[in-house]
Amino acid sequence: MVRIWKTEDVKLSVPRKAVTEEPSTEPLSPRGHKWAKNLALSRELDVSVALSGKPSKTSPAVTALAITRNQTKLLVGDEKGRIFCWSADG
């Protein structure tokens, strides 16, 4: 299984009391919000689901990952010597 992650901007509310007490290096928005990066799961790619339509209890370990230069395809190699290719949607 290959998990693809992405970063998202998340708006955090900061109480007004904390804003006045603690000097921050990051600027706050006029409404007292702070922005942070969050790591979120974008997609799970499973070879067994791609081949049979249902997940397998034992999947071979992923041993290699590569992405094409134009970033439209992801190539995955497993311990059995097989190579799988996924196309990126949008």
89: nearest Cα among 71, 68, 64:
71
Q: Does residue 36 sit in the same domain as residue 61?
A: no
Q: How do residues 38-59 score in pLDDT, each as one tens digit?
A: 999 888 888 777 677 777 778 8
Q: What is the mean pLDDT of residues 16-34?
A: 60
Q: What range does the domain containing 87 cover?
A: 46-90
Q: Does residue 40 sit in the same domain as residue 52?
A: no
Question: Is the model's pLDDT at 24 over the cut of 60?
Answer: no
Give the rounded percent of residues in the chain with a pLDDT score beyond 70: 74
Q: Does residue 36 sit in the same domain as residue 53?
A: no
Q: How far apart are CA 73 and CA 6, in angstroms?
A: 16
Identify the residue with better confidence: 6 or 88.
6
Q: Does residue 29 sit in the same domain as residue 55?
A: no
Q: Does residue 51 sit in the same domain as residue 88?
A: yes
Q: What is the mean pLDDT of residues 22-37?
A: 68
Q: Does residue 3 sit in the same domain as residue 39?
A: yes
- pLDDT at site 30: 65
Q: Does residue 1 sit in the same domain as residue 35?
A: yes
